[in-house]
Structure 1
Amino acid sequence: MNKPLAERLRPAKLEDYLSQQHLVGPNGSLQQALKVGIIPSLILWGPPGIGKTTLASIISKESNRPFYTLSAINSGVKDVREVIDKAKQSGGLFTQKNPILFIDEIHRFSKSQQDSLLGAVEKGWVTLIGATTENPSFEVIPALLSRCQVYILKPFSKEDLIKLLRRAISEDDIINKKSVTLKETEALLRLSGGDARKLLNIFELVVTTESTTSVEITNEMVLSKVQQNTVLYDKTGDQHYDIISAFIKSIRGSDPNGAVYWLARMIEGGEDVKFIARRLIISASEDIGNANPTALVIANNCFQAVTTIGYPESRIILSQCVTYLASSAKSNASYKAIGKAQQLVKQTGDLPVPLNLRNAPTQLMKEIGYGETYKYAHDYKGNFVEEEFLPDEIKGTTFYSPGESARETTIRKELKNKWGLKYNY
């Protein structure tokens, strides 16, 4: 049986590796590391189908090191220890030729599994290369993360992907048996979502299922072929970004039915439970905010619960949280407020802190007026006294404008009573 096109085109040399010039170009950090032969343990972070596995394999070949690979989906602590034992036998302590241990989807490793790697990485028995589509700051334990360099792989550009298609036409022994013309590429690029592996799989399907020896690729042709074979493109991770987008927009749009449907799609596709729960925390603050502050509490508790429980029971907790958030009152006022404040900071720079708000830990600071006129709110009726909390250059600027929900209407009235016409409430 033939290997998939993506596997057949997998580059074996760094010079054939597509994109990521900030890492593999003449002045790239990985290129420089390979030249001197000192490869640090590292985490490759980037979207699906960007070439993380390929890059790890090339690093191993070009540095002439033994290469061991594990997938976090089906490997446990026992598997990790067995591979480390093999690596210790094939490499030498404190040498530049210690083996490379590649772990795909390292974000799926539990804390205990990641802990089992620490000793081997620290003592130099292996050089760890982990691949992840998730932010390693959240998914890799601090002790392991501190021992690794994090390299961010950028999404492929449109030009990169078209170049990859042309490489398939000219270099692949199966594809070039036919005369293939790329008349239109928009459908291929859209369906692949920037995933090179998916792009090549779709392209191979379209070309090989065509009965003629002369194939002209058009958008209409690609869409008709893919629609007849939709099951091939509904696997874990293939629609990762589109589905999470539909999921969040359903919650924002107050449709619990749409939200729970997209939740089910992610669950059935094997999506990481923590990935879903983290998005719920963000949505609770960005889309609901002070219209219902309890939403953030529930979303955070949901994250803690599903992290502890895992599948399949966590689907129930996720469903409860999703339907609650979707049914809740909505407000993006807090989200807009920080955006306005950050934009003004970029425009105005480091404005001086007003003297009344400055800390005065030394006698000199007290003598020059630090904190001298500050009014302690709790000394006044209602725990409030009008004070200036912004630099003079931007005083009176309104960043937070409460929304129209019942709760935020109350907040607006209270703020207006306190501040009068100072702010635009």
Structure 2
Amino acid sequence: MSSAGDAVARLVREEYARVLATLIRVTGSVTLAEDAAQDAVVRALETWPRDGVPDQPRAWLLVTAKRRAIDHIRREGRRDELEAAAMEHPADEPPETVRDDLLRLVFTCCHPFLSVDAQVALALRTLGGLSTAEVARALLVPEATMAKRLTRAKQKIAQAGIPYRVPAAEELPDRLDGVATVVYLIFNEGYEGRRELALEAIRLGRVLAGLMPDEPTVLGLLALMLLQESRRAARFAADGTPVLLAQQDRSRWDGPAIKEGVELVGVALRRSADRPDRYAVQAAIAACHTLSLTYEDTNWNAVVSWYDVLVTIHDTPVARLNRAVAVGERDGPVAGLALVEAIAGLDGYPWWHASRAELLNRLGDKDSARVAYERAVALGLNEPTAQHLLRRIDDLG
């Protein structure tokens, strides 16, 4: 694809989630909205490189997708002509009902009627625009399992008539865990390279903070995303490959974002003093890194201590892996490797193999490190990260 084609593809990808969210509000069907939005995307990728990008790309995509949805409705006889026409030319809605289509979609996907696993999977698929394979990789399950999970979730939404709206204030706490998980996983996808997703997740975090200004989970989540995003400018080399934390030019970190994030961490930790919140604790770990002048100055005792808190309140294999890596920095590669290899359930997770490879490399076991790096690459990573690991393999000699 040409550079112009790449630019068009990025633009379409950036607009997809908003177009889909609005279509779901208009059509009332996740499946119909997805089909129509994807059809509009295909047409955009076919025509924009040839005819030029329209002045209002989102409006073009939305109109094209609505026409596709209307054609389907009329063909299936699901609504009469007046209803289809009303969807094509909707009456102006009062501002209070048109709050934020993406936020509505988050809460629709995260309805308590759905399991948390289904909530997260559906939101990543629709909001993040991730493929089923990408969602499966993010959630560490086989692709076939994820495809079935997504289908069941959409069917449940349709059968139960789950409303497409932001819940009332008293309903918000029951939805918070799923919503926070979804927003953070969307951010994680953006953190690996797709910045538009990271920025969208931060924007949603700010909206949630406006809805729930005293909730430590929301404040901790926003702080965590800001602190991690603050390192964006130093995280990638000119060719797009990632730069490890130890090698990053800290003068390029975003000072205002760090300041805001650290202030939010303090508030979140104070408000969750009696019952630590996992996002606030992860934000505290991020703050340990962003407040260090150099990598060598990092307070690894503090980092490991915060990980100790994290695995107490949110004991997952990935949290244990991150703690093991921190222990490896504090106590040396032998201690870190022992903890990494003691973690069960991560054989299909590329970062487990990559972390193990780094520790083996530090111990001088080049052959085992090579095998672990190769396994990480084989499990599927984005192209820049895969290239980075392939270079690590080359460095082994």
TM-score (normalizing by structure 1): 0.28
Higher radius of gyration, 1 or 2: 1
Higher helix share: 2
TM-score (normalizing by structure 2): 0.29
